[in-house]
């Protein structure tokens, strides 16, 4: 394992994963890999063991290699739910903490992961939950107690401080999306891409956010029409 990207979701982890791969540190295991590799049940088991005492917790390299075999790094949830465990399991790996301002992160989470989880909860038993939906429900419950408005901001700071503490004495970079190539290339000891090469701006949630914005716009219009 070469690098552990331990920042929270919605801190540029997908773009950073793509950038690392372009720079020769990859592939990176990102949330998108979970469904593609049918790893939902494995991660549900890991989260259950960590937070609910159901089964043996994942603590060793062998535990995590069950899902990370063939990857040079990890990023995003569900991996970043286990920052201390990963730092201990892969002591040779550099650590990158991807961060954004608290307000940017909060707004992005509210319009994507949190919004989707609320929509699923409202739908109730309309359809059987998928493995991804079950995994999502678990980390919403265990990370911010299904009350993102009250505890989300505190969790953001607690998580970031935890990762900074884990990084003491090892190679560490705190990276923001606006930093682009420069700090990342310097950290990795590789040449920057040719001038003008755009930094990856990958976001699987683009269409979902557009849908949320349209729903909010229609809601405002209905509200004005009814006044």
Place of tokens 């919004």: 115
Question: Contact at 8 Å (CB) between 58 and 49?
Answer: yes
**CA-to-CA dists, residue 166 to 96, 105, 160, 192, angstroms:** 11, 22, 10, 28
* pTM, full prediction: 0.88
Find the mean pLDDT for residues 82-109: 97
The reply to whether omega before 27 is within 30° of 0 (cis) is yes
Segments making up each domain of the chain, as ranges: 3-100+154-220
Mean per-residue pLDDT of the chain: 90
Find the mean pLDDT for residues 140-149: 96
- pLDDT level of residue 207 (50, 70, 90 thresholds): low
Contacting residues for 156 by C-beta, under 8 A, at least 6 apart: 8, 102, 105, 106
Residue of 7, 8, 16, 4 lying closest to 113 (CA atoms): 8
Q: What is the largest CA-CA distance in the chain?
A: 62
> In the numeric block, which tokens belong to residue 220?
């405002």
For 3-100+154-220, CATH gives 3.40.50.300
Give the model confidence (pLDDT) of 148-185 as tens digits.
999 999 999 999 999 999 999 999 999 999 999 999 99
Residue of 5, 13, 30 lying closest to 201 (CA atoms): 13
The separation between the first and the last C-alpha atoms of the chain, rounded to the nearest angstrom, is 59
């Amino acid at each position: 394992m070469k690098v552990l990207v331990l920042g929270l979701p919605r801190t540029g982890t997908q773009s950073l994963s793509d950038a690392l791969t372009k720079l020769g540190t990859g592939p990176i295991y990102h949330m998108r890999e979970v469904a593609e590799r049918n790893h939902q049940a494995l991660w549900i088991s890991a989260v259950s063991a960590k937070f609910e005492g159901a089964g043996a917790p994942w603590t060793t390299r062998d535990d995590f290699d069950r899902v990370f075999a063939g990857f040079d790094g990890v990023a995003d949830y569900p991996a970043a739910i286990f920052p201390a465990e990963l730092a201990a399991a892969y002591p040779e790996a550099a650590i990158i903490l991807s961060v954004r301002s608290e307000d940017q992160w909060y707004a992005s989470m509210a319009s994507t992961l949190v919004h989707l989880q609320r929509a699923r909860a409202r739908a109730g038993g309309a359809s059987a939950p998928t493995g991804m939906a079950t995994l999502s429900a678990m980390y919403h419950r265990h990370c911010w107690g299904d009350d993102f408005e009250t505890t989300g901001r505190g969790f953001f700071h607690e998580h970031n401080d935890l990762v900074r503490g884990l990084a003491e004495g090892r190679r560490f970079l705190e990276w923001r999306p606006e930093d682009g190539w420069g700090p990342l290339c310097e950290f990795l000891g590789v040449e920057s891409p040719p001038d003008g090469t755009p930094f990856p701006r990958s976001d699987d949630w683009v269409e979902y956010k557009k849908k949320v914005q349209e729903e909010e716009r229609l809601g405002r219009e209905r509200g004005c029409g009814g006044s």
